[in-house]
Structure 1
Amino acid sequence: MTKNTVELLAPVGNWECLRAAVANGADAIFFGVDKFNARVRAKNFQMDELPTIMAYLHKYNVKGYVTFNILIFQNELEEARTLVNACIDAGVDALIVQDMGLVEMIREISPDFPIHGSTQMTVTSAEAVEFLKPFDIEVVVLGRENNLKQIKTISDKTKVPLEVFVHGALCVSYSGQCLTSEMWGGRSANRGECAQACRLPYDLIVDGERKEMGDIAYVLSPKDLAAIELVPELIEAGVASLKIEGRMKSPEYVANVVSKYRKAIDEYVAGKNYAPSKAELRELEQSFSRGFTYGFLKGTNHKTLLDGSFPKSRGVLLGTVKKVLKDAVLCDIQAPLKRGDGIVFDAGRPDQKEEGGRVYDIRKQGTKIEGEAQDGLIEIVPGRHDVNLTKVHVGNKIWKTSDQELERRLQKTFENEQAYRVFPLKVRVTGKVGQSLVTQWVDLETENTVTVHSSVELEEAQKRPLTRDFLLDQFGRLGGTIFELADLQLQVSGDVIVPVKELNRMRRDAVELLVNKRLEPRVYKRNTEVIDSKKKVSRGNGKKSLISLCRSLEQIEASCKTDVDYIYADFEFTKDYPEAVKVARQYGKPIALATPRIHMPGEQGVLNQILRAEPDAILVRNLGSVQYYLDQKVDLPLIGDFSLNVANHKAAELFLERGLKRVTPSYDLNIQQMVDLLGAAPAHDLEVVIHQHLPMYHTEHCVYCTFLSEGTDYTNCGRPCEDHRISLEDRVGFSHPVRVDVGCRNTVFNAIDQSGAEYISHFLELGVEHFRVEFLEEDAKKVTEVLSLYREALLGKRSGTSVWKSLKATNQLGVTRGQLVK
């Protein structure tokens, strides 16, 4: 792939979906193998299927990318290496990777095996792309939050092809930065086990009071992305690959979406002014839709990102119930409807059983309608056993949930493999009497060339000599193959004749040879010696450092009055950082300032503002910030935070070698995984967070703007975040604080503190020297108390269990043992 090509990339969860993608025009597909992918609940493929899959795809000149887009734990590295080698052997076209340690491993094995940087890497700026440059990443998948202008900016600053999601489900959180499933169920989104907590209902708590929201309950559940109308703008912005989401969707969904985006790309490339029809948009909605949005591609508009009244696929909105009749409902429909279509009546309670089923009949003023009704006042007669009309009321929305005719049409596109694709052939024929006929066959799609000779010598024709038209007929008989004859050149001396049987044999042999060339797996280089980058673990200085991360000046001052060794400031607004540094200086405490979790194009000013505050160190939270400070040759320690997703020793050492002073392990690690990591990596260069409110969601979607403002983004919202505090109350009754950063991004923190106090002794034995305690809303008294408890634990004066019990006794919400326990 190059920046000048446009690739259509389709999701595949099983063989049917794979055939649907190929048949409907995908240039490439992406799929998971076994457990190492971000959709473990999908059927996925097995490792021993890889050669068959790749041969099938390459037969149709379709590329196959394997999703390896999760974090790899220390004890899984060798298993991961096995899968990498299997992908190389099978000629997989690329691995889509999240884990930087896995990137390192792949390059240890092969210098040229293609790696695609997953959206799970949270790459949102040109600096982040630059960070990946040493690893020859072939394609970078940008975050879904980048808008068209930002995409163009990134594209102009890099030669690396960029991939962008254009259709399917949207994550409310930045990919790679969601810990909600991890916190509540031990099912990490960074491990392909997302529990979709964002699709659950929440009550909005504003300044401690519940806000009345009507039927709006799904405040974190976005609509689905549909950027088909933006295809020309995306291509002009420099996007090289348009990616469709949906590895858990049906083959009909794949066929539907792929075919429509194929048309959009082809018409743009052909110079036509493409715009999807209303019917095409309805069909896209019909396959799967929670309502459509451009996401952030056209810029930020918090009012259009979610509906809030339902979290699941609805299909096409037909209209609302005007009247309930004895056996039917009257509706002014706004979309076509026919017998057999599926419908559901939406009473505004999607969490409860809803009335719905198949349409038994449609009438207009009591008279049956044959065929399809397009619009107007229509009486919809549901199946008598499907819908209890006494539970349907005037004003209920009616959704068309399925269309059997559309599904049958889509199924036909991939049922008959002979109809999938045909590719043009060019044939050159030469020869003369007394010699064999020489045919050179060129596969114009792949430029593969084969030569086939006749097994008999040419004889002079007495009648009916070999002509171009005759050869066009004989060599053009390619039905049932993947080829069609596009051009034939005949250059023979004199009038010659060849038996028809021989011509047929030559055609069959040529087709077989060309197909076999397509099936040959792509060959990659392998390093002669597989290097294990695991370094010998050196020893630290033995000093145990206690670090206090504060989110207010009150917390900083309280921390400074203790014997804490280091202060971190993580403020909502970086304009307050100079004051934080001033307070720390007054008490003689070193202080590090935290970057935002996300770095977007044009946000270098925020990073410079941190430098101007003159901290003693910087807590870096994304690849873009790391690269920016490295480029600036900043003479300050850079400390990598949890959001860099370090889960194995290779990732840890990679960041340390790139210039970070130390790194914080990912919050995805449980105690055993943490122990495994600490045993393999330089433990004294790792910083362990032992107390915190877990940051569950980190999102571009601003709850403050959406529900406390008439505005659409930070330019016109009136900054309600400066005057109010929002929390989201879940079904259990816990209220999770929502905080805003300088980029107007929201973080939803878990309501309950979590503590790793019971494992401090283990960490000390393994050589950990840096322990962090994080605060959120605690007052000065609480800060002092918590830090005192952890200091006593580090000095061996108090057991970890004692610390935990003390915290539980003094915290009304209680303290969980956190993600370290599963």
Structure 2
Amino acid sequence: MSTSSLDRPSPLPPELLAPAGDIDCVRAAIENGADAVYFGLDCGFNARARAHNFGPADLPEVMDLLHSRGLAGYVTLNTLIFPSELPAIADLLRQISDANVDAVLVQDLGLVRLVRQLVPDLPIHASTQMTMTSAQCIDEIESLGIERVVVGRELSVREIKAIAQKTTMPLECFIHGALCVAYSGQCLTSESLGGRSANRGQCAQACRLPYELIVDGQDRDLGDQKYLLSPQDLAGYALIPDLIDAGVCSLKIEGRLKTPEYVANIVRHYRKAIDDAMAGRAVHLTETEVREMELSFSRGFSPGWLEGCEHKRLVPGQSSAKRGVRAGTVIATNRRGVIVDAEIPLNRGDGVVFDGDRDQQAEQGGRLFDVRALDREDPSRVELQFGTGAIDFDLLEPGQAMWKTDDPKLNQKLKRSYSQTDPVRRRPLRLRVTAAVDQPLRVVAEAAGMAPVEIESDQAMVEARKHPIDEATLHAQLGRMGGTAFELTALSAKIVGRPMLPLSVLGRLRRELVAALEAQAIARPPRRYCESALADLQQSVSKTQAAAASEAGRVPTLHILCRTMDQMQSAIDAGMRDLYADFHDIREYRGAVAMARQAEARIVLATPRIQKPDEFGLFRAMRRHQPDGYLVRNLAGLRYYRNEGFPVIADFSLNATNEISADHLIAQGATRITPSYDLNRQQLTELIEAVPSGWLEIVVHQHMPMFHMEHCVFCSVLSPGTNKTNCGRPCDRHVVHLRDRAGMEHPLQADVACRNTLFNAAAQSAAEIVPSLISAGVAAMRIELLEETGPEIARTIELYQQLLRGEVTGKEVWTQLRASNRVGVTRGTLEERRNPLTIL
């Protein structure tokens, strides 16, 4: 029997979660209606290293401020942790827990285990950097004690609802702000191009740069569409009712690099939208309200992926930076200024910019010195005047678009919202009062999120001769809470007889009540701390390491990853018998397995990097081919093939960077682990020293997979369609590269789920460290092909085989491959980082 909608419990209002880069942002979030705030610390370990962030010593003050106002505070520790950093982050975790932080956001699986054992009472939220995109992925981390998951931004409302229906894990999703074009936790672009890892909070925003399109070897002119990887910003206010219905517990605003005015602006509009949705009212923001949000920061608003994939809408490609609000069109210029057809109100002091090539610094703009109406009957026709020399009028022409980038009056209003001395937003308070002659006055106070507070007067009430106490008097005297964080919203009184109490006593009682409420709000309940947790976790790995010490000196097996059947045949012809297949079309896996069996070679099939709710069938389809194992790239794949009894190798995308995360993956069934590409040479050495070397499989030659995207460039620019259901699959017919500003032509490929990966044009070689890897007992090394053909493949394999036999040096290998490869070879992430990023 189905349950009617009237029988279902009403959904709880979702938490409104605001970003904070400094204390003013915290205040802006408080006063404008946030329920919680998330922020990072200046000692690193958070994915926004460029934000101001807070020092660990600031934590008690920040948390007291938040808790006194009824908000939760979450600290972001959402980066990967290297072995040498584990003691420092263990010390930091104790400070975080002692300050009564409400939760930490974590990416690293090893750090999750450390938090749970070190400070077991500190809640953990899985960061979006953990790439949780399905209930099956969430199932694999539930045993770690995680209490909330921030789902991937690439999920639609429908997909989020499907996940919520198959897990009991509370789900949080982004509702507003900048979008990364690549999956969070899976973007290696900054790392690949210049050693600045997004997984370490140092994203260089290569997605916001212009790229040229090369199709089948020919340049494709896209006109002014050159920002091919720069999404518009997410603005999901209209979808709040659907997300509430889907079961989302928290709606998150992006923006820890943004200003307090941005936080105030966005929070107050989303507060209104959530309140409207919970009251059953239509969620509707006026044009003025949307315009206000755009003025704080906007690359253009879109629903992101919440309505599903619509690639052309997500990435129009004509701009990548903040532009504000379209304000009008140039009609003409004269000696005094610019005559425009204004689309929105403009005022003296506003900032405006005219369309131009920002990348070439060819934009004109400035603050308005004056705005003069030219036609009473047409108020949109105005003359804009600027300061002397601010604008080169010769560079403007009729038809050129103009944008409003700043509104000082709006900023002043937003600043006032959080800069008042007294609280603007107060906590609702309900009082229950009992008054009787010869008894003290008793008051029970109830505030949302707090246990009841009970106090009583220090003297008994007496019989009144003239003016007995009444409910109105109690409300007037106890409700005088100006300057505090509380506001009396309801009072009920049980009065027996004609009791009376001096007003001075009522005033003192009120102050005692407020003090008791404030003390309870910031009280720090004791939390457990296990001093030996880190040592215990490391000791467990060390015992396994000691047992595996005999592996040192083994000559490793060379594995080769192929992306086409032709590459597989070339590898077999070159004598390779340990093959990986990572094909665009999984229907070809049957033939790949048959080819390997005929050659008496072992074959491992690579899974897609992402698994969404309706894609689990891909795993089952791949299982039917019965290979020798699977190279798994997400936790759902690890769980499935482990349970099916197949050998599994955990690939780089599972982001193992320390011994505790590696140990977890081995415990979950991985036979080997490919360390994260975020490790440089020294850090990789540290990991090898900390774990059994037989656990590891090192990629010694590859083209770094930089962007891994739900966004499909093929569909966006080579198809009249909007998504994979109607695009006609141009990825099957065309070879595409994207040329960056340095002239590098990076290969673009699509996988079976139509997700795009942009690979680095330059191959990367770890040949120079191969001898030390052999000495350390590393059991497996891997070459990953991309676009190489027969002769290139044979030469690459031959050189690495010679290297393993000690017949050539590492330098000879990468030098010779540079000579034969059209874009050369770099040593990439396994080399020490000495040079700053130069092309971003």
Contact 2:111 2:660 in 1 (8 A): yes
- CA drift at 1:722: 1.0
AA partner of residue 85 (structure 1): R
Change in 2 beyond 3 A, CA 1:492/1:438:
same
- CA drift at 1:361: 2.1
Contact 1:441 1:510 in 2 (8 A): no
- CA drift at 1:522: 4.6
Does residue 636 of the first structure (1) align with residue 646 of the second (2)? yes
Does residue 677 of the first structure (1) align with residue 681 of the second (2)? no
Does residue 29 of the first structure (1) align with residue 37 of the second (2)? yes
Q: SS where residue 187 of structure 1 aligns?
A: coil
- Which residue pairs with 2:599 in the alignment? 587
- Which residue pairs with 1:813 in the alignment? 823
- Measure the CA separation in 2 of the matches of 1:666 and 1:713: 31
2:624 to 609, 612, 628: 612
Within a 5 Å distance, the mapping from 1:309-320 to structure 2 comes to 309-320=318-329
Does residue 530 of the first structure (1) align with residue 533 of the second (2)? yes
Contact 1:3 1:160 in 2 (8 A): no
- Which residue pairs with 1:596 in the alignment? 608
Q: SS where residue 45 of structure 1 aligns?
A: coil
Contact 2:353 2:363 in 1 (8 A): yes
1:158 to 167, 171, 176: 167
Structure 2 segments unaligned to the other structure (5+ residues) = 1-9, 834-840
Within a 5 Å distance, the mapping from 1:245-394 to structure 2 comes to 245-365=254-374, 376-394=380-398
Does residue 666 of the first structure (1) align with residue 705 of the second (2)? no
2:589 to 570, 573, 577: 577
- Measure the CA separation in 1 of the matches of 2:435 and 2:220: 87
Q: Structure 1 residues 638-647 or 791-800, which shifts more?
A: 791-800
Contact 2:370 2:385 in 1 (8 A): yes
Change in 2 beyond 3 A, CA 1:426/1:704:
closer
- Measure the CA separation in 1 of the matches of 2:204 and 2:755: 22
- CA drift at 1:492: 4.6
- Measure the CA separation in 1 of the matches of 2:245 and 2:407: 35
AA partner of residue 552 (structure 1): T
- Measure the CA separation in 1 of the matches of 2:26 and 2:389: 37
- Which residue pairs with 1:488 in the alignment? 491
- Measure the CA separation in 1 of the matches of 2:37 and 2:171: 16
Contact 2:357 2:363 in 1 (8 A): no
- Which residue pairs with 2:252 in the alignment? 243
AA partner of residue 506 (structure 2): L
Contact 1:3 1:161 in 2 (8 A): no
Q: SS where residue 90 of structure 2 aligns?
A: helix
- CA drift at 1:626: 1.7
Does residue 651 of the first structure (1) align with residue 654 of the second (2)? no
- Measure the CA separation in 2 of the matches of 1:51 and 1:156: 38
- Measure the CA separation in 2 of the matches of 1:508 and 1:401: 47
- Measure the CA separation in 2 of the matches of 1:698 and 1:584: 28
Within a 5 Å distance, the mapping from 1:59-208 to structure 2 comes to 59-208=68-217
Does residue 456 of the first structure (1) align with residue 468 of the second (2)? no
- Measure the CA separation in 1 of the matches of 2:114 and 2:805: 38
Q: SS where residue 231 of structure 2 aligns?
A: coil
Q: SS where residue 66 of structure 1 aligns?
A: strand
1:552 to 552, 556, 564: 564
- Measure the CA separation in 2 of the matches of 1:320 and 1:348: 17
- Note the alpha carbon deviations across 1:253-283, whole angstroms, 9 max, x for none: 0000000000000001011112111111111
- Which residue pairs with 1:479 in the alignment? 482
Q: SS where residue 491 of structure 2 aligns?
A: strand
- CA drift at 1:340: 1.5
Q: Percent identity of the aligned residues?
A: 46
Q: SS where residue 339 of structure 2 aligns?
A: strand
- Which residue pairs with 2:753 in the alignment? 743
AA partner of residue 826 (structure 2): T
- Measure the CA separation in 2 of the matches of 1:199 and 1:696: 14
Change in 2 beyond 3 A, CA 1:784/1:62:
same
Change in 2 beyond 3 A, CA 1:357/1:785:
same
AA partner of residue 590 (structure 1): R
- Note the alpha carbon deviations across 1:32-87, whole angstroms, 9 max, x for none: 01211001011100001111111100001100000111100110011111111111
- Measure the CA separation in 1 of the matches of 2:489 and 2:681: 63
Contact 2:70 2:427 in 1 (8 A): no
- Measure the CA separation in 1 of the matches of 2:507 and 2:816: 87
- Measure the CA separation in 2 of the matches of 1:84 and 1:565: 47
Change in 2 beyond 3 A, CA 1:417/1:625:
farther
Count of aligned residue pairs for this structure pair = 813
1:715 to 714, 717, 725: 725
1:217 to 189, 201, 226: 226
- Measure the CA separation in 2 of the matches of 1:458 and 1:635: 77
- Measure the CA separation in 1 of the matches of 2:382 and 2:361: 27
- Measure the CA separation in 1 of the matches of 2:491 and 2:352: 55
Q: SS where residue 132 of structure 1 aligns?
A: helix
- Measure the CA separation in 2 of the matches of 1:351 and 1:161: 46
- Which residue pairs with 2:16 in the alignment? 8
- CA drift at 1:669: 0.4
Q: SS where residue 263 of structure 1 aligns?
A: helix
Q: SS where residue 476 of structure 2 aligns?
A: helix
Contact 1:692 1:754 in 2 (8 A): yes
Q: SS where residue 143 of structure 2 aligns?
A: helix
- Note the alpha carbon deviations across 1:556-583, whole angstroms, 9 max, x for none: 1121233434100111111111111111
- Which residue pairs with 2:514 in the alignment? 511
- Which residue pairs with 1:754 in the alignment? 764
Does residue 627 of the first structure (1) align with residue 639 of the second (2)? yes
- Which residue pairs with 2:7 in the alignment? none
Contact 2:375 2:381 in 1 (8 A): no
- Note the alpha carbon deviations across 1:499-549, whole angstroms, 9 max, x for none: 222221111011101111001125444458526222120326535111001
Q: Structure 1 residues 320-329 or 583-592, which shifts more?
A: 320-329
- Note the alpha carbon deviations across 1:269-312, whole angstroms, 9 max, x for none: 01111211111111111110111111111111111012212210
Q: SS where residue 26 of structure 1 aligns?
A: coil
Contact 2:13 2:278 in 1 (8 A): no
Contact 1:740 1:746 in 2 (8 A): yes
- Measure the CA separation in 2 of the matches of 1:309 and 1:488: 58
- Measure the CA separation in 1 of the matches of 2:105 and 2:760: 30
- CA drift at 1:699: 0.4
- Measure the CA separation in 2 of the matches of 1:329 and 1:700: 42
- Which residue pairs with 2:408 in the alignment? 404
Q: SS where residue 285 of structure 2 aligns?
A: coil
- Measure the CA separation in 2 of the matches of 1:8 and 1:145: 20
Q: Structure 1 residues 107-116 or 20-29, which shifts more?
A: 107-116
AA partner of residue 721 (structure 1): C
- Note the alpha carbon deviations across 1:394-420, whole angstroms, 9 max, x for none: 222100000111111111111114243
Within a 5 Å distance, the mapping from 1:558-569 to structure 2 comes to 558-569=570-581
- Which residue pairs with 2:5 in the alignment? none
- Which residue pairs with 2:65 in the alignment? 56
- Which residue pairs with 1:428 in the alignment? 432
Contact 2:426 2:485 in 1 (8 A): yes
Change in 2 beyond 3 A, CA 1:522/1:65:
farther
AA partner of residue 490 (structure 2): D
- Measure the CA separation in 1 of the matches of 2:325 and 2:496: 66
- Measure the CA separation in 1 of the matches of 2:345 and 2:438: 69
AA partner of residue 478 (structure 1): M
Contact 1:58 1:518 in 2 (8 A): yes
- Which residue pairs with 1:783 in the alignment? 793
AA partner of residue 318 (structure 1): A
- CA drift at 1:743: 0.5
- Measure the CA separation in 2 of the matches of 1:56 and 1:403: 30
